[in-house]
Structures are given as structure tokens and as C-alpha cells.
């Protein structure tokens, strides 16, 4: 990787970028890191370039790319943050400072690990661009893990799989999530990785040949109808995503129809639905496999139309149809709002996706002890880092919950009072027990009794979200306190 290659990527994605400022940042970083090498033996500046390359491929602005080039300078060289600010301004220095504050996780005991997580959430809440740089930095570190001892490889990969990839997912950064997962997978679960790779390669060779035929036929049908195709291509499923799906389907790869999908990008939403109609008029759709994420986006903002159809010879093929804007958001998530942004610190478009980060940062500020944080971290793994589902209210609002959430979790996610007075639930118009596990796409209607005084303490045995647990405990505690006041007159407990 060279500065010329980096600038070539920047020019392709952002022709109006300030190329001189990027080259100056490279020159500054190269001089600062002069003589330093990584464990792989390569010059340290290569890591800075690779980090910046990932940011450039995300179509991010010149200032973020500058910060990517400079992100290790204050910590690993004799150049200071003040030097960075003097040469590149406060915006770039602020991002570099955010990365420096995160520090490098050395795995010297749980206390150090906890402190880094705390810093990460705080940094994300103040400026989400810091996490873009951290992701890019982590991707290159994962790609060079072979140079580290086995135990360290495992620890770095596991953290990336359990913490960084789910955060990328919550920020809607699908491509980043997939890359972090795939690079980590082979170090955390090496045998499972090799097994999945073997299955994938054998199946894809057969599938891709057929897929090319389906792609040509689809293009012909769509273009004959007068709809302009901006892009049409095959997309292979990420390896770790495939592995998780295989586990859900009893390890039978023939039951997985999106191993390689065809993605169609068109001009506007009307064309998306028109293309769906064209595909269904040519090939019959598979029942239950039509998903409209345009009308009802996923909680992380993902929008697209998905359909699986029976093509020639009965072969099943998945199509994904979206606009260019939807595609950018699906690949880049919240980072898509930072295309060419050079001055705004927090675009308004990011607020909805970042509300959970800000809530998380508040929690971190309130936690004082190690034991508190450890206990809270377990709750965070459920609320933030687990697979998310989206459940729909009768009015069509989408509620974002962790996997295996129940109607009670859903009720508390809507409003504390609805949770407290919940007496029953209908899922898809059918009455279900309150400890039932919800699935994505379920429509849930909570039945309430306004006269009910509070939640059932037994709900604590099955609720998943920390929000529901906290509210149930608080209400139960207040009920006991109120009961004690009626049993023990106020003058008797003095």
C-alpha cells in the first residue's frame, strides 16, 4: 500500500476531496513513525495507510482519512497532540485525541479491559467518527494477527467478534460487521471456520454458474421493461454469517438460499417495487420469502426488498432490490451520513442510530466500581451486543429488542406504565404467554389493566432486557417499602 494508491481510492469516491491535506498528513505520519516496525516486520506507516484505506473505501471525508493516517502518532511517537492540532486543525486533532483516549487494550487483567470499554462508549457518544477509525484500525490488526502469539490472537479476535462487530451492526454498518466477523472467526473457532469454508466453496462453485444465468435473464427482463439498472451483481454471504445460519438450519447448506444473492440497484423506490413485480411475473416467488424492509426498515436503518424465487429447473435464487442511497446505508450505515462531511461534528441524520450509544455512555458515567461494571457488562451483552430483532406495534412502529425478548420486554420498551400494568399479550392476533420468545416481524399488542398496581416479580425469571429488569425490581422494591410503612407505624422504627 502506498500514498498514491490511497489517493487513487479517495479520488474515485470523492473527486472534490482535499488531496493535499491527506498527503501532508501522510508525510507527517511517515516522518513521525520513521524507523518503527510492526511484529510482521513491515514499516509501521503501512498500518496507518491501511487504516486510512479502509476509511477511504467507506467514502469518508478527507479529515477522517487524515485522522486515520495520524491516529497512532501521539501515542507511539515523540510528536504530540498539540503538534497534530497545529498542523491539521482542531477537528482532526479531536478525532486523533478520541482514538488516543481509547488507548491500546493490553489485556493486563479485567480492570484494564473494562476501562477500555468504558472509554470506547464515551468516545463514541461524543464523536462517532472515532469508532469508524477504531474499526478501520482493528480490521488491519486482525488481518495481521498471525504475527502474535496464539493466546493474544484469540483474545483480540474474540473481543472483535463479541464487541466490535455487534456495535458495527447496531450502527447499520453491514459490510464492516461482516469483515470484522470473518477476520475474527478463524481465530476464535478455527475448526468451525474450516468446515464452513469447505462447505461454502463446494456449494458456491455449483451455485455461481447457475446464478450467472439468472443474473443475465433478470437484467434482460428489467431492461426490456424500460427500467434503468444502476448496478446488478452477485453477493456472496459472509462466512461467519453463513456459519450462524447453518447452526439454525441443522447444518444443512441446501436449506440456505442466500449463499450467493443477486443485488439489483435502481434509481428510486418506485423502480424497486416495479423490479419486484417483474421478477415475480417471470419466476414464481417462494412463499414466506418476500421481505419488505423499505416499508418496515430494520432497527439499524437497513432498507431493501428481498425475494426468493424459483428460477429455471426449480433452483431457488434470492434477489435484493434497493436504491443507491439504500445500498450505501446498508453497506456503510451511519458512516454513509459522513460522505464528504468536513465541518459538521454530528449530522442530524445520525441521532436515531446513536441514541443507544448516548444512553450507554450515561450508564458508564454512573458506574463507579469494578463489580458494578462487570455486572452491567453482562446486561450490555444482552441489550447491545446480541443479535437484535425488530417487533412491530399495532400502529406500525418498530421496536428494537435483543433476541429472545418477551412481550414483557416489549411492553417496557414502549412505556414503563404499560409494562407495569401488562396482563397479557397478542402476537400476530393470537394470545400468547408473557414468557413467549418474540421473533423479528411479530406484531405485538399488549393488554393492560389500569387498576393493576404493579408487575409480577416472577417476570424477572424470563425477561431479557436490563431496562425491564430494572423497572420490575424498582417497582417491586417500592411495593415492599409501601407495605412495610402500613405494617410498621413510622414512630416504631426509630
Where is pLDDT greater, at 365 or 435?
Answer: 435
Superfamily designation of domain 3-187: Hypothetical protein af1432 (1.10.3210.10)
Q: Compute CA distances 156 → 37, 96, 241, 386, 397, whole Å.
A: 20, 22, 19, 18, 38
CA–CA separation, 308 vs 293, rounded Å?
A: 14
When pLDDT is cut at 50, 70 and 90, the band that residue 109 belongs to is very low
Among the listed ranges 40-49, 176-185, 188-197, 328-337, which one has the minimum average pLDDT value?
Answer: 328-337
Give yes or no for a contact between 420 and 427, defined as CB atoms under 8 angstroms apart. Answer: no
Choosing from 30, 42, 76, 315, which is the catalytic residue? 76
Cα 423 → chain centroid: 34
Nearest residue to 464 via CA among 428, 486, 436: 436
Q: How far apart (Å, rounded) are the C-alpha atoms in residues 333 and 490?
A: 57
pLDDT at 356: 55
Return d(Cα 410, Cα 84) in angstroms, integer.
47
Please tell me which residue, 57 or 395, carries the higher pLDDT value.
57
Residues carrying CATH 3.30.460.10, the chain: 191-333
Whether the CB-CB separation of 288 and 240 falls below 8 Å is answered with: no
* Rounded-to-integer distance, Cα 407 and Cα 436, Å: 7
Q: Is the dihedral of CA 337, 343, 345, 349 positive or negative?
A: negative
Any idea which of 118-122, 210-214, 287-291, 434-438 has the lowest mean pLDDT?
Answer: 118-122
Distance CA(212)–CA(233), nearest Å, equals 9
Highest mean pLDDT among 78-92, 93-107, 206-220, 356-370: 78-92
| H/E segment holding residue 263 | strand 260-266
Domain 387-487: which CATH number of 3.10.20.30, 3.40.50.1970, 3.40.50.2300, 3.40.50.10860 = 3.10.20.30
pTM, entire model: 0.70
Q: Which of 18, 30, 42, 75 is catalytic?
A: 75
Known active-site residue 50: no
pLDDT tens sequence across 65-107: 999 999 999 888 899 999 999 999 998 998 898 887 665 444 4
- Say what the pLDDT of residue 167 is: 81
- Enter the C-alpha cell of residue 331: 453497506
Q: Please state, in angstroms and as integers, the Cα–Cα distance from residue 353 to each residue in 118, 140, 173, 411, following that order.
A: 19, 26, 11, 21
Q: Is 75 a catalytic residue?
A: yes
Band the pLDDT of 340: cuts 50, 70, 90. Answer: very low
Q: Percent of the chain, pLDDT > 90?
A: 36
424: β partners: 447
Rounded average pLDDT over 245-267: 82
**Average pLDDT along the chain:** 81
Closest CA to 258 of 233, 232, 238, 228: 238
In the chain, list all ranges with CATH 1.10.3210.10: 3-187
Residue range 191-333 in CATH 3.40.640.10:
no
Packing angle, helices 190-224 and 269-282, rounded to 10: 90
Reported as a single tens digit per residue, the pLDDT across 265-310 is: 999 999 999 999 999 999 999 888 899 999 888 876 789 999 999 8
Amino acid at each position: 500500500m502506498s500514498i498514491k494508491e490511497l489517493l487513487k481510492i479517495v479520488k474515485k469516491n470523492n473527486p472534490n476531496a482535499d488531496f493535499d491535506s491527506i498527503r501532508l498528513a501522510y508525510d507527517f505520519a511517515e516522518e513521525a513513525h520513521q524507523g518503527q516496525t510492526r511484529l510482521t516486520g513491515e514499516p509501521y506507516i503501512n498500518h496507518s495507510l491501511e487504516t486510512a484505506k479502509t476509511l477511504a473505501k467507506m467514502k469518508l471525508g478527507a479529515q477522517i482519512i487524515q485522522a486515520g493516517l495520524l491516529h497512532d502518532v501521539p501515542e507511539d511517537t515523540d510528536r504530540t497532540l498539540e503538534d497534530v492540532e497545529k498542523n491539521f486543525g482542531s477537528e482532526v486533532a479531536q478525532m486523533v485525541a478520541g482514538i488516543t483516549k481509547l488507548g491500546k487494550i493490553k489485556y493486563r487483567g479485567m480492570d484494564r479491559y473494562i476501562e477500555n470499554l468504558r472509554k470506547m462508549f464515551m468516545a463514541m457518544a461524543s464523536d462517532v467518527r472515532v469508532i469508524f477509525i477504531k474499526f478501520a484500525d482493528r480490521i488491519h490488526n486482525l488481518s495481521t494477527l498471525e504475527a502474535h502469539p496464539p493466546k493474544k490472537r484469540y483474545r483480540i479476535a474474540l473481543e472483535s467478534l463479541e464487541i466490535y462487530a455487534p456495535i458495527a451492526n447496531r450502527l447499520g454498518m453491514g459490510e464492516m460487521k461482516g469483515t470484522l466477523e470473518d477476520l475474527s472467526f478463524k481465530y476464535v473457532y478455527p475448526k468451525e471456520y474450516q468446515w464452513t469454508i469447505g462447505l461454502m466453496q463446494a456449494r458456491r462453485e455449483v451455485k455461481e454458474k447457475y446464478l450467472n444465468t439468472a443474473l443475465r435473464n433478470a437484467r434482460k427482463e428489467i431492461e426490456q421493461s424500460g427500467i434503468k439498472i444502476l448496478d446488478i451483481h452477485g453477493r456472496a454471504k459472509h462466512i461467519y454469517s453463513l456459519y450462524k445460519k447453518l447452526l439454525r438450519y441443522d447444518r444443512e447448506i441446501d436449506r440456505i438460499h442466500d449463499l450467493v444473492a443477486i443485488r439489483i440497484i435502481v434509481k428510486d423506490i418506485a423502480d424497486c417495487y416495479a423490479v419486484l413485480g417483474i421478477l415475480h411475473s417471470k419466476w414464481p416467488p417462494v412463499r414466506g420469502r418476500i421481505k419488505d424492509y423499505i416499508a418496515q426498515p430494520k432497527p439499524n436503518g437497513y432498507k431493501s426488498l428481498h425475494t426468493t424465487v424459483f428460477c429455471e429447473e426449480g433452483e431457488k435464487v434470492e434477489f435484493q432490490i434497493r436504491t443507491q442511497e439504500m445500498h450505501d446505508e446498508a453497506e456503510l450505515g451511519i458512516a454513509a451520513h459522513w460522505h464528504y462531511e468536513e465541518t459538521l461534528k454530528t449530522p442530524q441524520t445520525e441521532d436515531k442510530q446513536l441514541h443507544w450509544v448516548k444512553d450507554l455512555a450515561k450508564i458508564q458515567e454512573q458506574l463507579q466500581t469494578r463489580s458494578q461494571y462487570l455486572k452491567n457488562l453482562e446486561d450490555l451483552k444482552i441489550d447491545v451486543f446480541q443479535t437484535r430483532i425488530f417487533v412491530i406495534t399495532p400502529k406500525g412502529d418498530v421496536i428494537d429488542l435483543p433476541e429472545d425478548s418477551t412481550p414483557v420486554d416489549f411492553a417496557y420498551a414502549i412505556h414503563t406504565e404499560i409494562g407495569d400494568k401488562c396482563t397479557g399479550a397478542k402476537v400476530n392476533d393470537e394470545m400468547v404467554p408473557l414468557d413467549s420468545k418474540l421473533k423479528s416481524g411479530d406484531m405485538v399488542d399488549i393488554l393492560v389493566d389500569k387498576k393493576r398496581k404493579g408487575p409480577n416479580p416472577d417476570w424477572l425469571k424470563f425477561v431479557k432486557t436490563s431496562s425491564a429488569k430494572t423497572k420490575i425490581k424498582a417497582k417491586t422494591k417500592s411495593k415492599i417499602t409501601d407495605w412495610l410503612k402500613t405494617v410498621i407505624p413510622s414512630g416504631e422504627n426509630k
